[in-house]
Amino acid sequence: MSGLDRDVLITRVIDGESSPEDWAAFRALAERDPSVWHELADVQQDRAELGSALLEAVSLADRVEAPIDAHAGERLSVRVRTAASWLGWVAAAAVAVAAFVDRSGSPVGSDLESARANLFPISSPEDALKVYFDKGHQAGSVLGEVPERLLVSSTPSPEGGYEVVFLRQIVERQRVQDFYRMGQDEAGNSVAVPYRPLRASSRGTTY
Amino acid sequence: MTEPDGASPQARVEDLRLFQAAARSDPEAVRLVWERQRRWVAALLLAYKPREADLEDLLQEVAMTFVRRVGELREAEALKPWLRSVAINAARLAGRKRSIVRRHAEGLRLITEQDPPIQRTPDVVLGQQEDARRLLSLALTLPESYREPLLLRCMQGMSYKEIGRIVGLPETTVETRIARGRRMLRELASAQESVGKPLPRSTPGAGVEEGKVS
């Protein structure tokens, strides 16, 4: 029997993983070489000591709880960040609306006929959007489009493929005298309510 | 889930239900599954962490990863091997961080005084308990492939088969490594006893000193 076989046999015996054949082999070995009993005792003692020291060392594990609350906090802050980015757009939309509406609540420059007169023939929505971007760039009021498009819904199309509804985000710049946000009066009518940014500074406020 | 392979079918079903609930991010199930795993994960970290790294800190890192990602697991069988890889990564990352710090600190080290001698009073050196800690420190100096199955085997109820599943090795290989590891440990202990050497102080994986795990 090789040294390794002997070690494996002893290991099986002290770990309680030995079969009847292993026990028979061990007894036969012990008859030929009684020192194997001493060896068995030594390994058994090492195993017990190692086990108790390890148990002592890892007992601190009982203090380490699953940080479920911290994780819930993380998930909440992700949701808040997501919501905040949406609220930023809502705020931006509100600002745009406020800029478009004068204090009396009527649209600024509502002479639609004159506005139409300035347009030239447009054959598709893309053409219209391109004109909008070009004109906006020239005027400095359209800064660009956010490359990511937000998927709102997708449904299988009867013609094959999918019909997707998504959000395109366009960044604009406008100069406004005051901020307003949409509110309601006592009768439930929509009114523009003057609004002052919380932390107005010379460097501005980013929503 | 810490039950040996001989666990009753009822216990296995209970473990499976618990895992499935944890995978659905049920907080109580997540907590319970972690409680059943944390001791052996700590043993594994002890086997892999650098001596200076704090075991509790590393275990907390693993616990955080567990809570964040247990919902991504699809099979209960995958839990332990996955936790093992998370723990080993955490321990090795700690090792890399330490080695960077050590490189930067080398210059300073040259001008510091020699380490003060370790205070060993009779009440600290407590016979059997001290022997056990010494043995654990020695076990942590064994090659990785031996010390990992050896320490896992010390955790209650882990069979060769289960260790094999965790470390991704055949049961017979695990058995051989445990046997060989014990032989190496006995030889190391005998060699130290014969020369009356004190506790090993600068071992690559060791983290146990004076009854305290660093």
Among B18-32, B55-69, B132-146, B184-198, the range scoring the smallest mean pLDDT is B184-198
Contact (Cβ atoms closer than 8 angstroms) between residue A154 and residue A167? no
User: How far is it, in rounded angstroms, from Cα A58 to Cα A55?
Assistant: 5
Give ranges for CATH 1.10.1740.10 in chain B: 8-110
- In words, the CATH class of domain B8-110 is mainly alpha
Taking the complete model, does pTM exceed 0.95, yes or no? no
**Over the stretch B127-152, which tens digit does the pLDDT of each residue have?**
677 888 899 999 999 999 999 999 99
A18-45 tens-digit pLDDT: 899 999 999 999 999 999 999 999 999 9
Cβ burial of A196 (10 Å; 0-12, 13-18, 19+) is: exposed
The interface predicted TM-score of the complex, written ipTM, equals 0.74
Q: From A169, A166, A191, select the one nearest A180 (Cα to Cα).
A: A191
Q: What is the largest CA-CA distance in chain B?
A: 63
A30 to chain B, minimum CA–CA distance in Å? 18
A94 pLDDT more than 70: no
**B207 interaction partners in chain A (CB closer than 8 Å):** 57
In contact, B140 and B47? CB cutoff 8 Å: yes
Name the one residue in this structure whose structure tokens are 């209650």: B156
Question: Cα distance from B167 to chain A (closest Cα, Å)?
Answer: 19
- Residues B175-209 as b or e (16 or more Cβ within 10 Å = b): bbbbbbbbbbbbebbeebeeeeeebbeebebbbbe
Decide if B82 contacts B44 (C-beta within 8 A): no
Measured CA to CA, the distance from residue A172 to residue A142 in angstroms comes to 4
Q: Interior CA angle at B49 toward B69 and B204, to 5°?
A: 160
CA B59 to mean position of chain CA atoms: 10
The span from the CA of B75 to the CA of B19, in Å, is 9
- The 10s digit of each residue's pLDDT in A100-123 is 554 444 444 445 554 554 556 778
**Where do you find CATH 1.10.10.10 in chain B?**
124-214
Please, are residues B165 and B80 in contact by the beta-carbon 8 Å criterion? yes
User: Would you give the DSSP letter of residue B117?
Assistant: P
Considering CB atoms only, which of B35, B46, B160 is closest to A57? B46
- Window 142-161 of B: residues touching A by CB (8 A cutoff) are 150-151, 153-155, 159-160
CA B30/CA B79 separation, integer angstroms: 12
| CATH code, B124-214 | 1.10.10.10
